[in-house]
Amino acid sequence: MRGFFMLIDSHCHIDFDELAPLGPLLDACRQVGVEALVVPGVSLDHLSRPLELARQHPMLWPAAGFHPWYLPADKAAFGVLEDFARRHAGELVAIGEAGLDKFKGPDAATQEWWLERQLELAASLNKPIILHSVGTHARLTAILKNHPGARGVVHAFSGSGEQARDFVRLGFYLGVGGVITRASATKTRQALAQVPLASLLLETDAPSMLPEGISAAHNSPAFLPLIHKALSEALQVPLDDLGLVLTANARRLFQGAETG
């Protein structure tokens, strides 16, 4: 157990059935030094689920949004998201998971429409946005340039140093997940070394994205320390020093906490 800080999982779909039951899982998280988990929204059907769970378990930090894989067929559903987010703005830590995916989901124009609306919603509520980007870093960067002042995190970042620097210049954090544990992820490790530690967050993306070498049915937020260790080794920053920075980063982004 760490002496005076604990880790924060900045992206965990703990509302998915694969991670039930929550009580024992959250106990396991606390035992390995994970104090909080950000739970993104993904769909209309799951819109209220992260908030409902957070009311039962205060270590969960809920968000609301529509993932590019699960976008409603009817754009009028944006009104449902907007109404929900405005009514519960005091409890939600972010809008999202929103974003773009080159390989899955509806056509690019539809994905971009939903992304733009969610960026506008986040700005109107003064909330960060949690972004998904697969094969779309260049397009996402171009869109974000049209939303000056937008802030948030590009989760599960895997890209080049130039792409990493572009997102950081635009005011976004980079979520570091299980990919950092893979022997093949040399480019991502090199990219992360090119941005300030103050721009990084830890995440598991559980139940997806198992760390390398773990044999399990699905990923778990209790594996977050493995990602922390892999990032510490990749950046050659002492484990505790890195953990302090990463935890402060998450508090700054999602809670507006001043960290000095």
- Closest residue by Cα to residue 229 from 220, 219, 242, 216: 242
CB 68 within 8 A of CB 111: yes
Tell me: is residue 132 an annotated ligand-binding position: yes
Neighbours of 110 (CB within 10 A): 14
Distance from C-alpha of 225 to C-alpha of 239, rounded to nearest angstrom: 10
Tell me: is residue 155 an annotated ligand-binding position: yes
Tell me: is residue 205 an annotated ligand-binding position: yes
Distance from C-alpha of 168 to C-alpha of 105, rounded to nearest angstrom: 26
Helix (H) or strand (E) holding 189: helix 186-192
3-class SS at 87?
helix
The dihedral through the CA atoms of 203, 207, 209, 211 has a sign that is positive
Residue list for the binding site: 11, 13, 97, 132, 155, 205
Residue list for the binding site for a divalent metal cation: 11, 13, 97, 132, 155, 205
